[in-house]
Amino acid sequence: MQTVPAFDRIGEENAFAVLARATELAAKGRDIINLGIGQPDFSTPKHIVDAAIKALKDGHHGYTPAAGIKPLREAVAADLHKRFKVNVSPGEVMIMPGGKPTMFMAIMMFGEPGADILYPDPGFPIYRSMIEFTGAKPIPVPVREENGFAFSAEETLKLITPRTRLLILNSPANPTGGVTPKSEVDKLVAGLEKHPNIAVMSDEIYDHMLYDGEQHVCLLSYPSIRDRLILLNGWSKTYAMTGWRLGYAIWPGKLYEYARKLAVNLHSCVNAPTQYAGIAALTGPQDAVTKMVAEFDKRRKVVVESLNKLPGIACATPKGAFYAFPNIKQTGWKAKPLASALLEDAGIAIIGGPDFGVLGEGYVRVSYANSTANILKALERMGEFLASRKAA
Ligand code: PLP
């Protein structure tokens, strides 16, 4: 059997492996607290679930257009206009089976041997995995603690070469919770105007999850890069819909047709009732989103305060998403052995920073998508562990 070498280069997301191990330990009767998971611990709001049930009862059982049903694409365009005052036509919106397929397609469109693709490090691991899959060279853009885990326009622009094809941005960011300020995005876009051949993929899946009065900066609001901007977004995080597999992309120009054809070849369309649920999510009441974000905000403060009391741990206050990314360098532990020992010996699932890139060493990702009571219990156990165990 001869398979193509690309499959030996493809990576994955260790968060799924940690989840599997945590579930296995819990099934054996261990008390495991999961702060590793990247999904809201809330149920999808009832009116959204009801819309999917109604769609099934109304007979929406068949294929839809590959790009998604028109009322959903219209709802996405209207939502983007309402929130960011940007004009998007429903014909630019493509409904996708989650957020991930957009990065998959975008990286496939630009990656090949000889091409460079810039991506955030630490960052969502699928970016690098897919870049390597295509044979392109992954060029990490450092995301630094001393910069509030925002990306630096200057540092990003310096990494551009004639081989650069695509720049991947993510704010609010996984795994750091970092939010890049508008002034920095302005600078970056101004710099990109000198590089008209570089496409930009902006992953804005956490755009509702901002704290301390931060306002989301949507890359669609920059006309000078609009003709080469791919926007990735979706319902997974905002509406607690990770298992529904519903996302969307805004594709510029000919990329739309490329993506539509890829969809026809790959998944045909997103399942019909889920698309109706997506309409209810965008056009219905938003109070469940507001409540969820307010709850995350409360937990964020608890997580940061509790982590900062632990020996050797220093945690900056994240401004977005639902992750804290504490610095563990003073504990003497390397991040992955610490995450592994915490799971096996203390029953706490977190993710080692290196699972998000080489610059993640010295950090761990703590998700606060769990109850305050569980967070407090987990961090108390973590304190006892650090006080009693020598670094491995
Ligand atoms: N982008 C980022 C930054 C994420 O953290 C995630 C999920 O963890 C995704 C995209 C993927 O979202 P989805 O589950 O909708 O594919």
Angle at 385 between CA 379 and CA 390, to 5 degrees: 140
Across the strands, what pairs with 324?
366
Rounded to the nearest angstrom, the distance between the alpha carbon of 39 and the centre of ligand 1 is 9
Return the pLDDT at 13.
87
Rounded to the nearest angstrom, the distance between the alpha carbon of 99 and the centre of ligand 1 is 5
Domain boundary among 239, 255, 283: 283
Return the pLDDT at 15.
86
Residues 248, 168 within the same domain: yes
Q: What is the pLDDT of residues 42-85, one digit of tens each?
A: 999 999 999 999 999 999 999 999 999 999 999 999 999 999 99
Residues 131, 150 within the same domain: yes
Domain residues for the domain of 366 are 5-44+287-386
Q: With respect to residue 98, please indicate whether it lies within any of the assigned structural domains.
A: yes
Residues 27, 159 within the same domain: no
User: What does the chain come to in residues?
Assistant: 392
Taking only the tens of pLDDT, the chain with its 392 residues reads 999 999 999 998 888 899 899 999 999 999 999 999 888 999 999 999 999 999 999 999 999 999 999 999 999 999 999 999 999 999 999 999 999 999 999 999 999 999 999 999 999 999 999 999 999 999 999 999 999 999 999 999 999 999 999 999 999 999 999 999 999 999 999 999 999 999 999 999 999 999 999 999 999 999 999 999 999 999 999 999 999 999 999 999 999 999 999 999 999 999 999 999 999 999 999 999 999 999 999 999 999 999 999 999 999 999 999 999 999 999 999 999 999 999 999 999 999 999 999 999 999 999 999 999 999 999 999 999 999 987 77
Residue from 13, 95, 124 to probe ligand 1 pocket by mutation (most atoms less than 8 Å from CB): 124
**Residue among 232, 248, 246, 178 nearest 209 (CA):** 178
Rounded to the nearest angstrom, the distance between the alpha carbon of 144 and the centre of ligand 1 is 21
Q: With respect to residue 392, please indicate whether it lies within any of the assigned structural domains.
A: no
Return the pLDDT at 391.
78
Sheet holding 351-352, edge to edge: 323-324, 364-367, 351-352
Residues 39, 156 within the same domain: no
| DSSP line for 26-92 | HHTT---EE----S-SSPPPHHHHHHHHHHHHTT--S---TT--HHHHHHHHHHHHHHH-----GGG
Q: With respect to residue 391, please indicate whether it lies within any of the assigned structural domains.
A: no
Cβ atoms 21, 37 nearer than 8 A: no
Question: Which tokens hold the place of 149?
Answer: 């885990």
Return the pLDDT at 8.
93
Rounded to the nearest angstrom, the distance between the alpha carbon of 96 and the centre of ligand 1 is 12
SS3 state of residue 116:
strand
Domain boundary among 237, 264, 283: 283
Domain boundary among 257, 283, 309: 283
Q: With respect to residue 267, please indicate whether it lies within any of the assigned structural domains.
A: yes
Residue from 19, 104, 174, 355 to probe ligand 1 pocket by mutation (most atoms less than 8 Å from CB): 174
Residues 59, 195 within the same domain: yes
Q: With respect to residue 303, please indicate whether it lies within any of the assigned structural domains.
A: yes
Residue found under tokens 């991930």: 100
Cβ atoms 123, 143 nearer than 8 A: yes
Residues 270, 224 within the same domain: yes
Residue 238 corresponds to which amino acid?
T
Residue nearest to atom 5 of ligand 1 (CA): 174
Residues 278, 334 within the same domain: no
Q: List the CATH number of the domain containing 18.
A: 3.90.1150.10
Residues 146, 10 within the same domain: no
Rounded to the nearest angstrom, the distance between the alpha carbon of 313 and the centre of ligand 1 is 27
Return the pLDDT at 12.
87
Rounded to the nearest angstrom, the distance between the alpha carbon of 205 and the centre of ligand 1 is 7
Distance of CA 37 to the CA centre of its chain: 12
Q: List the CATH number of the domain containing 198.
A: 3.40.640.10
Q: With respect to residue 311, please indicate whether it lies within any of the assigned structural domains.
A: yes
**Residue among 26, 89, 72 nearest 271 (CA):** 72
Q: With respect to residue 197, please indicate whether it lies within any of the assigned structural domains.
A: yes
Closest ligand 1 atom to residue 124 Cα is 3
Rounded to the nearest angstrom, the distance between the alpha carbon of 58 and the centre of ligand 1 is 31
Residue 142 has a CB neighbour count (10 Å cut-off) of: 16
Residues 175, 207 within the same domain: yes
Return the pLDDT at 331.
94
Residue from 236, 267, 322 to probe ligand 1 pocket by mutation (most atoms less than 8 Å from CB): 236
Q: With respect to residue 293, please indicate whether it lies within any of the assigned structural domains.
A: yes
Rounded to the nearest angstrom, the distance between the alpha carbon of 59 and the centre of ligand 1 is 30
Residues 104, 238 within the same domain: yes
Ligand 1, CB cutoff 6 Å, lining residues: 38, 98-100, 124, 170, 174, 203, 205, 234, 236, 242, 247
Residues 255, 127 within the same domain: yes
Closest ligand 1 atom to residue 103 Cα is 10
Structural domain count, the chain: 2
**Residue among 153, 162, 171, 312 nearest 231 (CA):** 171
Residues 321, 252 within the same domain: no
Helix extents (H) in 159-194: 182-192
**Residue among 335, 306, 305, 241 nearest 18 (CA):** 335
